[in-house]
Amino acid sequence: MATQDFCPEKKISIFYPPQRVLMGPGPSDTHPRVLSAMSRPTLGHLDPVFTDMMEELKSLMRYAFQTTNLLTFPVSGPGSVGMEMCFVNMIEPGDKVIVCRNGVFGGRMVENVERHGGVAVIVDDKWGEPVDPQKVEDALKKNPDSKIVAFVHAETSTGVQSDAKTLSDLAKRYNCLTIMDTVTSLGGTPIYIDGWGIDAVYSGSQKCLSCPPGLSPVSFSERVVNLVKNRKHKVQSWFMDINLLLGYWGSSRTYHHTAPTNALYGLHEALLMLYEEGLEHSWARHLRNHKALKAGLQTLGIEYVVAEPYRLPQLNAVHVPVGVDEKEVRRRLLADFNMEIGAGLGDFAGKIWRFGLMGTSSRVENVVFCLNALEVVLADMGMKVERGAAEVAAHQTYAANPMTL
Ligand SMILES: *Cc1c(COP(=O)(O)O)cnc(C)c1O
């Protein structure tokens, strides 16, 4: 057999992906500044010029998380690796962890606890509802030997936000550490890691940070650093052991793994853009675009899954109108308009759509384009639609909600 025969289906000589508009649950659009930063010359991961950039990157990350935690750095891996890093380092065999589960990602936390030898005490809430602090307190009372409370701040599978400050206060009252998932909230809605007293937090590059997927910003309090230093058993994962990673991301700069240098230029640029815009401005922008999209969707009779006070502005989960083939709508948006929106996951599969307005995807042009494209597709599929009404409603909402920051 010739060597080429091992790759018989080869047909692409150069890969040019189409330019989509990404308005699903992530990834969201990458900002051109970030793409451009990533195309700059590759440096060695121990090059002093690169390590200077790493220091600034950590500092920009502290700004985004609103923390002074020294141990704040990007994990080389997607959000799921950041998640696993928190659990694998903080759990020793037999440790009890209260896990709040109100969607897909809370379910993954349970998996993490169990796979790392912990005992998960599950606090379930209905999909589309926030974590109920009363249930968490009941679980803490019943399980006074619990060590950690873990919860998802912004549950991307349902579009709901939970009250992080209240959950963190509760955990403290019962002597527990906290692990919080901020993959979808970082940059999109307010996060105060120090203000809320969160111990371990992880996020992702591809949601509200306008960066491609593949990196996970994490941050750990002194309490976590001490816990990990004083573990009885070695951390089960070599790659994710914080004690070893500190050799690279800490002060000594010794080789641990080859950091994805160009990807890190991209994250640096994305966080720089967030810093230049200002967190408050970014949060307000996400909220404003959400309000306009909502006004437009309402003209189409489309209803939200989540009650108003708990809605995530960056992830609009809505019920598919009765009688509409939801898959066909998504297919047409992609084929005819280059627009990606998200389907429902798990219990919500086939029942909801998820419109993401995250990072650089959260802008006026996208809201208007999305509403118009949706009107065209729905009208074409036989739904009664007043063409143009959604855009008019969006513009009225923009006019009534000027950016004041
Ligand atoms: C997307 C997401 C993750 C997983 O991130 P990946 O980068 O896909 O691994 C975890 N938690 C939440 C809430 C998410 O939205």
pLDDT for 312-359, tens place per residue? Answer: 999 999 999 999 999 999 999 999 999 999 999 988 999 999 999 999
Task: Give residue 218 CA to ligand 1 midpoint distance, Å.
Answer: 13
- Residue at 132 is within a domain: yes
Asked if 128 and 259 sit in the same domain, the reply is yes
Structural domain contains residue 344: yes
- State the pairing for strand pair 339-343/200-202: unpaired
Tell me, in angstroms, the distance from the centre of ligand 1 to residue 104's CA: 10
Distance between CA 363 and CA 23 in Å, rounded? 11
- Answer yes or no: do 244 and 310 share one domain: no
User: Does residue 87 share a domain with residue 214?
Assistant: yes
Give the pLDDT confidence score for residue 280 in this predicted structure: 98
Domain with residue 308: its CATH number is: 3.90.1150.10
Q: Output DSSP code: residue 382.
A: T
Domain-embedded: residue 13 = no
What CATH number should be reported for the domain holding residue 184? 3.40.640.10
Residues above pLDDT 90, as percent of the chain: 93
Residues 233 and 287 in one domain: no
183 touches ligand 1 (CB under 6 Å): yes
Provide the β-strand partners of residue 150.
Answer: 99, 179
Which pLDDT score, from 0 to 100, does residue 262 have? Answer: 98
pLDDT tens-digit profile of 253-290? 888 999 999 999 999 999 999 999 999 999 999 999 99
Exposure of 376 in the CB half-sphere (CA atoms within 13 A)? 11
Q: Is the CB of 160 under 6 A from ligand 1?
A: no
- Would you say the CB of residue 181 lies under 6 angstroms from ligand 1? yes
Is the CB of 26 within 6 Å of ligand 1?
yes
- pLDDT of the residue at 248: 86
Residue nearest to atom 8 of ligand 1 (CA): 79
Six token digits for residue 118: 């912990």
Which residue has 């307005």 as its token pair? 357
Distance CA 206, CA 21 (A): 14
Mode of pairing for the β-strands spanning 215-220 and 71-76: antiparallel
- What distance, in Å, lies between the first and last C-alpha atoms of the chain? 66
pTM above 0.95, yes or no: yes
**Are 242 and 294 contained in the same domain?**
no
Evaluate whether residue 16 is within a structural domain: no
Give the closest residue to 216 by CA, choosing from 36, 86, 63, 319: 86
Atom of ligand 1 nearest to the CA of 26: 1
Of 223, 255, 276, the residue at which a domain comes to its end is 276
- Give 142-171 pLDDT, tens digit per residue: 999 999 999 999 999 999 999 999 999 999
Last residue of a domain, one of 234, 250, 276: 276
Q: pLDDT of 35-90, one tens digit each?
A: 999 999 999 999 999 999 999 999 999 999 999 999 999 999 999 999 999 999 99
Domain count, the chain: 2
Backbone angles phi, psi at 3, to 5 degrees: -60, -40
User: Smallest Cα–Cα separation from 298: which of 385, 359, 379?
Assistant: 385
| 319 DSSP β-pair partners | 352
Q: Which amino acid is at 314?
A: Q
Looking at the structure, tell me whether residues 77 and 163 fall in a common domain: yes
Instruction: Compute the distance from residue 210 Cα to the ligand 1 centre, in Å.
Output: 14
Q: Do residues 234 and 295 share a domain? A: no
Backbone angles phi, psi at 106, to 5 degrees: -60, -35
Q: Closest ligand 1 atom to the C-alpha of 81? A: 9
Are the C-beta atoms of residues 296 and 367 closer than 8 Å to each other? yes
Exposure string (b/e) for 14-24, b if CB count within 10 Å is 16 or more? eeeeeeebbbb
Residue 300 in domain: yes
- Please check whether residue 6 lies inside any domain of the structure: no
78 lines ligand 1 (CB under 6 A): yes
Q: Which of 229, 260, 256, 258 is nearest to 245 (CA)?
A: 256
Kindly state whether residues 272 and 282 are assigned to the same domain: no
Same domain, 170 and 90: yes
Whether residue 261 sits in one domain with residue 286: no
* Residues 342 and 309 grouped into a single domain: yes
Residue 106 Cβ contacting ligand 1 at under 6 Å: no
**Confidence band (pLDDT; 50, 70, 90) for 1?**
confident
Last residue in a domain, options 276, 295, 316: 276
Residue 198 within a domain: yes
Ranges assigned E (strand) in 132-230:
148-152, 154-155, 160-161, 177-181, 200-202, 215-220
Same domain, yes or no: 186 and 110: yes
Ligand 1: distance of its center to the CA of 83 in Å? 8
Residue 176 lies in a domain: yes
Pocket test for ligand 1, best of 156, 185, 202 (most atoms within 8 A of CB): 156
C-beta 120 within 6 A of ligand 1 = no
Please name the amino acid found at residue 35: L
The 10s digit of each residue's pLDDT in 121-149 is 999 999 999 999 999 999 999 999 999 99
Q: What is the residue range of 314's domain?
A: 278-400
* 183 in Cβ contact with 154 (< 8 Å): yes
Per-residue pLDDT tens digits for 214-242: 999 999 999 999 999 999 999 999 999 99
